[in-house]
Structure 1
Amino acid sequence: MSRKRVSAGRGVRAGLLAAGLALGAAAQDWIPLFDGQSLAGWRAAENPASFRVENGAILCDGPRAHLYYAGRDGQASFTNFEFQAEVMTRPGANSGVYFHTAFQETGFPGKGFEAQLCSSPRAAANYRENKLTGSLYGLRNVYKAMAPDNEWFTLRIMVRGKQVQIRVNDLLLADYVEPQTPPAIANRPGRKLAAGTFALQCHDPESKVYFRNLKARHLPAGQASPAGKAEFDDYEKEIIRLGVANYPLVNFHVHLKGGLTLAEALEESRRTGIFYGVAVNCGVGFPVTNDAGIYQYLESMKGQPVFVGMQAEGREWVRMFSRAAIGRFDYVFTDAMTIVDDQGRRMRLWLKDETPAIKDPEAFMEMLVDRTVKILENEPIDIYVNPTYLPAQLAGDYDRLWTEARMGRVARAAAARKIAVEINGKARLPSPAFLKLAKAAGCQFAFGTNNTDRDIGRLDYCLQMVKDLGLKPADFWLPPAEGPRAGRPSQP
């Protein structure tokens, strides 16, 4: 991501915001959608008993059903609009608010889009919903719970022309601009911006969700919004296909380096549809060297829609930080790029002056594999990153040096402790051969790019490996829904 593109993007969005504020006075008054006492103006489909009014709120509780807003005349329709509601989910609930939709007697609405509501997904029948509250379902997914269960929060949906924005407690989580030729969505041909009404979802008998203070207002037809591109390219279409299919599209290996700010990273995340894990380097010679540094970094990232990660550097890190501090991160990863060789030399393999001439590559590989296995067996990590990296003087002989036996040792060590293996989009590591062995060993995987500057990078190699290896959503690792590592029942 270049500085020029980020600056241009900020300028365009700032102009649009100014235009939106100028036109705000022309927006119509808010229309109350719920009187707090009855379901007047609403029409239930499939299982009407799944909806009732309780303590001034609409309660969704029962078998699958959808409650459509019809309005006083039964013809409610919104094109450009702003919708707002207060929502409270109970643990395990799955629900949503559909918009630009239309009444249908049974099934999930085939027309329109869904703003997802799910903060603590349940695993049932070999399916775990990965798309969480604030997602524009399938198109721009949020994978970290940003609205706790059992607490009221505000959901806002705004549509202006080709742009859809979803906010939770005023935090922008999804920002999608539909192209002139909308992407084809499997089994959802009606997922196109047009016009329609709203619908509240009761997903299943174990999902209990409350709505109150629902209101909407029409926005002016001419209100400024970004112009959609003609059509998504193949890369963008594949991201949407995988997002709809419940693959967790997360780049866990993002750094705020080269002047890249968190605000710019979040804008890029929303633009591309790839959720980010932002990691800080912790260890000897890196920005964070003690618990105080960890807590300061975590405070700076508090409440942000990213996973917050620790990149553990060197082998000393396990003695530099307390388990309590480490446990505050959403995830921890490390690599085998810093090791101590058989002569006691500390080597950072990416630095030429710390990696002397390797006279016996075979002996070096045996030592490297041994060190890597020890890291995987002993260090409390979630993801093994930069996997199978070799110093520059050996990289050209990668396929010969990484024999099946050596790859197998590393893959089995990761699988034994349920450590995910990174598929690195920038370095194009590890090789397809290693990934096949890791899959056979039972490893899960995670995407990453390990940017060293403002260019976060793309996931082309990662997506190709998904296709070539036949990887499924369950093959990918996500931080558990209960949050930071310290709050989990167990950890590696």
Structure 2
Amino acid sequence: MSCLPWCGTEEESRMNALTEQEVKAGYRLLFDGRSLEGWAATRHPEGWLVQDGHLVCKGVTGGYLFTLEQFDHFELRLEYQTAPGVNSGIFFRWTDLNDPVHTGLEMQILDTYAKETMDKHSSGALYDLEAPSSNAVRPAGEWNQVRIRCDQNLIRLELNGTVVVDADINRWSVPGQNPDGTANKFKYAWKDRPRRGHIGLQDHGGYVEFRNISILPL
């Protein structure tokens, strides 16, 4: 698998930091590597901590960590690694903090490295809406690089340098139904949903580490 330009040895040496070029381009950090400033938990804040420059989900309590700030059109970048078998997710455009399941889009995090056939719940999927085009996730315990780009109605998910989802969210015009006629979990039509919302990380009962979380407003 190819590696994004900002990962690898150089990235390790400047963890949770931006280059001068990135700052000039408009990127900013969402996680400073020292604290959870700018973030809050929906419940069980004790399930989240900062350790060795990593944002750690201990995976023993459930719930979500979310940005206090909301975003609409952006490119989000981050890295994550999980323990074996872990299920988690990156939520975005999440509008109702009491209802992430129906009011947040999710890029699936799941240990599906050995899986041959991708579906709407495989790692890299736009959860329950579109399956990843290929299996780009790395084995549990290795770092994965993510880019999520939301530009108006266009959603692009990139995992380890591979674009795995390229979707026009306006095609989801019927509540509970995908464009191909299959069912999904959402009680709203995403075509009609607000474009602005929180970014969230999911505690689904498994251990996950995140780092190098940055955003570029578009």
Could you say which TM-score interval applies, normalised by the shorter chain? Answer: 0.7 to 0.9
Give the corresponding residue for 1:184.
175
RMSD across aligned positions (CA): 2.5
Cα distance in 2, alignment partners of residues 167 and 58 from structure 1 = 21
- When you count strand as a share of all residues, which structure comes out higher? 2
Residue by residue over 1:438-467, the C-alpha shift from the partner in whole angstroms, topping out at 9 and shown as x without a partner, is xxxxxxxxxxxxxxxxxxxxxxxxxxxxxx
Match of 1:84 among 77, 81, 85: 77
Residue by residue over 1:367-417, the C-alpha shift from the partner in whole angstroms, topping out at 9 and shown as x without a partner, is xxxxxxxxxxxxxxxxxxxxxxxxxxxxxxxxxxxxxxxxxxxxxxxxxxx
TM-score (norm 1): 0.34
Q: Is the 8 A contact 1:102 1:109 kept in 2?
A: no
Q: Which has the higher contact order (CA 8 A, sep 6+)?
A: 2
Cα distance in 1, alignment partners of residues 101 and 129 from structure 2 = 16
Secondary structure, aligned partner of 2:170? coil
> Alpha-carbon deviation of 1:193?
5.6
Q: Is the 8 A contact 1:28 1:218 kept in 2?
A: no
2:60 is equivalent to residue 68 of structure 1: no
Length, aligned pairs only? 179
Letter in 1 for 2:145: T
2:23 is equivalent to residue 41 of structure 1: no
Q: Is the 8 A contact 1:46 1:65 kept in 2?
A: yes
Give the corresponding residue for 2:144.
153
Letter in 1 for 2:33: G
Cα distance in 2, alignment partners of residues 201 and 181 from structure 1 = 24
Point out the structure with max Rg over C-alpha: 1
Letter in 2 for 1:150: G
TM-score (norm 2): 0.74
> Alpha-carbon deviation of 1:168?
0.8
Secondary structure, aligned partner of 1:58? strand
Cα distance in 1, alignment partners of residues 194 and 25 from structure 2 = 20
Q: Is the 8 A contact 1:93 1:120 kept in 2?
A: no
Q: Is the 8 A contact 1:78 1:196 kept in 2?
A: yes
Residue by residue over 1:11-64, the C-alpha shift from the partner in whole angstroms, topping out at 9 and shown as x without a partner, is xxxxxxxxxxxxxx9x96112000101111101012211111111111112221
Cα distance in 1, alignment partners of residues 104 and 25 from structure 2 = 23
Q: Is the 8 A contact 1:147 1:168 kept in 2?
A: no
Instruction: Label 1:147 to 1:77 Cα distance change in 2 as closer, same or farther (>3 A).
Output: same
Instruction: Label 1:28 to 1:197 Cα distance change in 2 as closer, same or farther (>3 A).
Output: farther
Give the corresponding residue for 1:173.
164
Match of 1:115 among 104, 107, 110: 107
Q: Is the 8 A contact 1:87 1:211 kept in 2?
A: yes
Give the corresponding residue for 1:141.
131
2:52 is equivalent to residue 59 of structure 1: no
> Alpha-carbon deviation of 1:211?
0.4
Match of 1:29 among 26, 30, 47: 26
Task: Name the stretch that deviates more: 190-199 or 56-65.
Answer: 190-199
The percentage of counterpart residues that share the same residue type is 27
Give the corresponding residue for 1:196.
197
Q: Is the 8 A contact 2:174 2:189 kept in 1?
A: no
Residue by residue over 1:94-153, the C-alpha shift from the partner in whole angstroms, topping out at 9 and shown as x without a partner, is 011100013524x644312001100249xxxxxxx9722211101111374622210112
Residue by residue over 1:288-323, the C-alpha shift from the partner in whole angstroms, topping out at 9 and shown as x without a partner, is xxxxxxxxxxxxxxxxxxxxxxxxxxxxxxxxxxxx
Q: Where does the alignment leave 5 or more consecutive residues of structure 1 unmatched?
A: 1-24, 71-75, 122-128, 220-492
> Alpha-carbon deviation of 1:217?
1.1
Q: Is the 8 A contact 1:68 1:200 kept in 2?
A: yes
Secondary structure, aligned partner of 1:49? helix
